Structure 1
Amino acid sequence: MAYEIVLGRSKEDFAKLGTDAAALLGKHYVTMGKTTSLANNVFMDVNESHVVLIAGKRGSGKSYTMGVMAEAVLNLPDDVRNNIGMIFFDTMGLYWTTKFPNYKQARLLEEWGLQPEGYTKNVVVYAPAGYFEYYKEKNIPVDKPFTVNPADLSPGEWTMVFNIVLTDEIGVCIEKNINDLRKKSDSYSIDDIITLIKKDKTNSDRVKNAAINRFEGAKTWGLFSEEATPLEELVKRGVMSIIDISIYASAAGGFDIRSLVIGLLSRRLLEQRMVVRKLEELSDVQKSTTYFSRSQSKVSDELAEEKQVPILWIFVDEAHEFLPPMPQTTLATNSLVQILREGRQPGVNLVLATQQPGKIHIDAITQSDIIISHRLTADIDINALNEIMGAYASESLFKMFNNLPKLKGSALIMDDKSETIYPIQIRPRITWHGGGAPEVLPKDYETKEKPEEY
């Protein structure tokens, strides 16, 4: 009888929990002699906090695997799923399809004992407010608009998104006026920033006009509002909120706008979970001691208010674009690195997908306790993973990749908890995958003249 594998779960916890609070990812490849076959189910623990890195060259299935992982969490029993909130930063506009069943692989799903399913109630797709109606007109499924408050950006973040050095004269002008606004109010609009710059008597008209032009441009991004989307709306229990920022991928300066959204929201979410976790700890302490003078009911009330932000799973596709190797940085780098280093205790999980593990921030590799790698061929990428996976490998990673079945979805998984590397096959998605590459010929096309070796 095949035994179950739960990645990220110790033997002691497995004996206690079994496969409860674990998401099904695929099956383990077992080789006997010259025969390789699928055997044990492979799950991923969601009871504790994890950092997961998904790697693979273009077309190897890493985005598909990220979709499998997200839907596997959504597919958990209510008593588990409702303790989890999910934020998916969709940088390429692929994951709105999670709402729809995967009928095109119905036969393959049946072989796995699964069936197509869509998540219309548990998946909410957010689009930037300025593009929400545009998406609707194009019949692209989006549910709600989202905005961020310009007051949440520091002077340094404004200059970085504008590709200006903070110490340049335009940067100095922006810093001065943003700091002046912050002294007056916790919330303000871009128009408020522009108005104050116009009144600035310490800078020349040339400098002020250059700064104003940039803020006028920011207004066209359709992203900013004093009435920013509240965190408790974005993060709901048992729901995956897809933040579709793909519209900025091809826009001028689009890279910085996507980084800005990821960095701002990630930072706010981590801060909120830190507050919740402190109240949870204080509540636990007060249940077992009377040393604290504050009434337990008061702490419970505060916890109930803050509990709107549950344990978090944050997904970031194409992570190398937002977490480049040092000394490069983006507007998302600091927030994501902080989650990598400090997210375990407050219960913030992070899933990163990249096609270039050799060109990603070192912490994305060293802080990951689960690494899923599809086929890689570039030395720089294999060597990067070898820094951590090599310690658990019985043979070279090059050889282990070569020994994988030549099937899309095959992968090596490093589980730091068990100090083991598993060859596995990722299961088919039950929801529709939106990341397939277009083809010139119809899907059902077959040539009339078969090649000789056919």
Structure 2
Amino acid sequence: MHVLGRSSDTDGPVLPLGRFRAPDGSHGVRVGVDANGPHAALVVGKRGSGKTYTLGVLAEALARTDGVTAVVVDPMRAFTTLPDAVPATVTRPRIPAGALPPRAWCDVLSIPSHTPAGALLWQAAAEAKTLDAMRDFLAAHDTTAGRAARNALALADSWNVFGEQRTEVLDLDRVTVLDCAGLPRPALAAVTRAVTDTVYDAAITGRLDVLPWILLDEAHAVTDTAVWPGLRRLLTRGRKPGISTVLATQRPGALPPEAVSQADLLVAHRLTARDDIDALETAIPTYLPAALADALPRNPGDALVVDDAGETAHDLTVRERDAPHGGRSRTVT
């Protein structure tokens, strides 16, 4: 098996991904992804090309691999079938209010921190660790700014994602799928930011005996929100504590440039939008084909994989999943 993400001939766990694909479409050697160390990966592709399917393949492999754990942020209910095939738990997210830093509260609720309401919200988040305690803090400020902050907090409460009975993000024995379907965009941002910060804090303090992976589908929906500072920290500083991040998106052109440039593994399915192809071309290494649009595959499930560890690019076909794919579109028949 050829292992992506390894710069030398080392041992360690491998995540089965698929097989090399020859120009005539025939399949060759099996291909896997290194799981012995941390990685920053990006999976891209237009709708229906296999992007979410590939993320599911990685999630299944992680659930069967010792020495790693994973959390999947699932905004479209595409991974709820994982427990049918592998050790996995699907749950609606519940996070403690204290999981968000004060600045993130201002960003999530779209209240600029330099305004009076934003300053009060920042203070409430810094002083209190629950929504009730934050409300109590703001109740003492019967001003226009105080009322604005309380109204914003009431909105956050209506999302039903904050609570003292919190969801355990990391299960060392199985993959955790956070079912975020139907959550408003600010609520999804709050959950995702809490995940990035919780995993980073647990890894950097040495509380984890395994290497954590974070898999985020539809990443373009939150990278311009309060999530980005947490994600950027994982992408730029996650290697030392051993954190792997996999972002999947159908719109790479909507991601911050660092989300593309920091990736040491790129799995590119079919793309046709010029701005999405341009976003990849501006950050891809020099050993890739000059005309990226011509190198991208046309069939669902096929991918161009760029391995920065080995400084190589390969054509491959992603293997079939063991669990039913929950990301298919509905049809009439």
Q: TM-score range by the shorter chain?
A: over 0.9
Distance 1:48 1:154 in 2: 28
- Aligned 8 A contact 1:83 1:238 in 2: no
Aligned residue for 1:312? 212
Distance 1:10 1:198 in 2: 57
Q: Deviations over 1:106-139 (max 9, x none)?
A: xxxxxxxxxxxx12xx1011114xxxxxxxxxxx
Q: Give, as a single letter, the amino acid of the residue that structure 2 aligns with 1:94.
A: A
Aligned residue for 2:182? 247
Distance 2:304 2:53 in 1: 15
Find the partner of 1:438 among 296, 311, 330: 330
Q: Deviations over 1:341-377 (max 9, x none)?
A: 0111111000110111112111111111110000111
Aligned residue for 1:297? none
- Aligned 8 A contact 1:82 1:237 in 2: no
Aligned residue for 1:296? none
Find the partner of 1:224 among 158, 162, 168: 162
Distance 1:414 1:383 in 2: 16
Uncovered stretches (5+) of structure 2, i.e. residues with no partner: none
Find the partner of 2:270 among 355, 358, 375: 375
Q: Give, as a single letter, the amino acid of the residue that structure 2 aligns with 1:24.
A: P
What percent of counterpart residues are identical?
29
Aligned residue for 2:7? 10
Aligned residue for 2:231? 336
Q: Deviating runs (4+, > 6 A) in structure 1?
A: none
- Aligned 8 A contact 1:237 1:310 in 2: yes
Distance 1:323 1:46 in 2: 25
Q: Describe the SS at the equivalent of 1:247.
A: coil
Q: Give, as a single letter, the amino acid of the residue that structure 2 aligns with 1:372.
A: V
Q: Deviations over 1:129-151 (max 9, x none)?
A: xxxxxxxxxxxxxxxxxx22223
1:70 offset after TM fit, Å? Answer: 1.1
Q: Give, as a single letter, the amino acid of the residue that structure 2 aligns with 1:53.
A: L
Q: Give, as a single letter, the amino acid of the residue that structure 1 aligns with 2:99.
A: D
1:395 offset after TM fit, Å? Answer: 4.7
Residue 417 in 1 paired to residue 317 in 2? Answer: no
Q: Give, as a single letter, the amino acid of the residue that structure 1 aligns with 2:95.
A: V
Aligned residue for 2:57? 68
Q: CA RMSD in A?
A: 1.9
Residue 21 in 1 paired to residue 22 in 2? Answer: no
Q: Describe the SS at the equivalent of 2:70.
A: strand
Residue 346 in 1 paired to residue 241 in 2? Answer: yes
Residue 191 in 1 paired to residue 132 in 2? Answer: yes
- Aligned 8 A contact 2:63 2:70 in 1: no
**Equivalent residues in 2 for 1:75-86 (5 A)?**
75=64, 81-86=65-70
**Equivalent residues in 2 for 1:119-268 (5 A)?**
119=86, 122-128=87-93, 147-179=94-126, 181-182=127-128, 187=129, 189-200=130-141, 204=143, 206-229=144-167, 233-248=168-183, 254-268=184-198
Check 1:195–1:349 CA distance in 2 against 1; reply closer, same or farther (3 A cut).
Answer: same
- Aligned 8 A contact 2:169 2:195 in 1: no
Distance 1:394 1:192 in 2: 56
Residue 43 in 1 paired to residue 32 in 2? Answer: yes
Distance 1:211 1:36 in 2: 59
Check 1:374–1:178 CA distance in 2 against 1; reply closer, same or farther (3 A cut).
Answer: closer
Aligned residue for 1:103? none
Aligned residue for 1:429? 321
1:210 offset after TM fit, Å? Answer: 2.6
Q: Describe the SS at the equivalent of 1:392.
A: coil
Q: Give, as a single letter, the amino acid of the residue that structure 2 aligns with 1:150.
A: A
Q: Give, as a single letter, the amino acid of the residue that structure 2 aligns with 1:264.
A: A
Q: Deviations over 1:287-334 (max 9, x none)?
A: xxxxxxxxxxxxxxxxxxx34x5210110001112224xxxxx11111
Q: Describe the SS at the equivalent of 2:276.
A: helix
Distance 1:47 1:66 in 2: 18
Rg comparison, structure with higher value: 1
Distance 2:125 2:285 in 1: 48
Q: Give, as a single letter, the amino acid of the residue that structure 1 aligns with 2:293.
A: F
Distance 2:138 2:250 in 1: 43
Q: Deviations over 1:253-302 (max 9, x none)?
A: x11111111112211211111111xxxxxxxxxxxxxxxxxxxxxxxxxx
Aligned residues: 333
- Aligned 8 A contact 1:126 1:244 in 2: yes
- Aligned 8 A contact 1:25 1:43 in 2: yes
1:178 offset after TM fit, Å? Answer: 4.0
Q: Give, as a single letter, the amino acid of the residue that structure 1 aligns with 2:214.
A: I
Normalising by structure 1, what TM-score?
0.69
Q: Describe the SS at the equivalent of 1:96.
A: coil
1:190 offset after TM fit, Å? Answer: 1.9
Q: Deviations over 1:141-183 (max 9, x none)?
A: xxxxxx222233333222222211122232233234444x35x
- Aligned 8 A contact 2:46 2:270 in 1: yes
- Aligned 8 A contact 2:105 2:125 in 1: no
1:215 offset after TM fit, Å? Answer: 2.0
Normalising by structure 2, what TM-score?
0.93
Uncovered stretches (5+) of structure 1, i.e. residues with no partner: 76-80, 101-117, 129-146, 249-253, 277-305, 325-329, 443-454
1:195 offset after TM fit, Å? Answer: 2.4
- Aligned 8 A contact 1:90 1:243 in 2: yes
Distance 1:11 1:212 in 2: 55
Aligned residue for 2:73? 89
